[in-house]
Amino acid sequence: MKNNIPLIVLGATLLSGCAPGSVAPKVTTQEYVEPMVGTTNKAYMGDPIIRSATGYKTELLKLGNASGSLSEIKEGTYCHTGNNVYANPIDKNSVGLKNLYGVVVNSVNYVTYDKAKNTISPPNGTTYNSSEISIQYVPNGLCMVSDSFVKTIEYNGKSGNTLKFTYREFSNNMARSAYTTDFTFDLSEGTKVVAYKGAKIRINEANNSLIDYTIVSGFDSRKEF
C-alpha cells in the first residue's frame, strides 16, 4: 500500500478526525427481474426460478477486504457515483481511515478507482494495488440501494399434481425469516400459470427434480438484470 499524503497533512486530517462524509448518489431506482420476461428456462429443485432487486444500472467495483497502516477497506460492492468515485450504498462505514498509530478515527463509504493502473484509493492519500486488494470491475452491474430487498421464488419439487415453491426476501444477502414462505400450486385446477406476489410463471413441464417454465411477468416490472 502506498502512502502518498505528506506527514503534516496526515496528522492534521487523521488525528483531528475530520474526513468527508459518506457518498449517496442521487439516482432513480427501479426493479429489475431475471430471467427476462418471455424467456423459457429450466431449473432444478432448490434453484430460484425468478428473482428481482431494486436498484440502478451503473459501473461497479467488487472489492475484497484490505488493511494497511493508514486505512482499511471492507469487502463489498461499490457503485460509480461520478469522477471515478465508487461508493458502498449498504455500509456507510466501509472504508476506515486510521491515525498514525493505526487506529481507525473516521469512516466513509467510498474510494477512488484508477482504471488505467487498477488501483483503489481511500480519501486520505493511500493506495492499494491489485496484489493488495481483490478488484473486480463490472461495466454495467446492478447497484442495489440500502433499503432494497432481493425477492426470489424457488422450486421445491412435485408431489402428485402439486408443485411446491418457496418465496424469499433477502436484505444484504440475509434471508428475512418473516418473509420466507412456502406455497403450493395445484396443476389439477386447469391453469398452468403460477401467480404469486405479482410474478406470473407458466409451467410447461415439471417433475420432482426439474421444472421447465416461461416468465410471464415479474414482480413489479419487465426489466432484467
The set of residues, in sequence order, having a beta carbon less than 8 Å from that of 97 and lying 6+ positions away, is 13, 14, 19, 70, 71, 104, 105, 106, 107, 108, 122, 123, 124
201, 48 Cβ separation under 8 angstroms: no
Q: Contact at 8 Å (CB) between 166 and 56?
A: no
pLDDT in tens, 80-101: 999 999 999 989 999 999 999 9
- What is the residue type of 177? S
* In the predicted structure, residue 60 carries a pLDDT above the cut 80: yes
pTM above 0.85, yes or no: no
Mean pLDDT along residues 215-221: 84
Determine the number of helices (DSSP H) and then strands (DSSP E) in the chain.
Answer: 1, 21
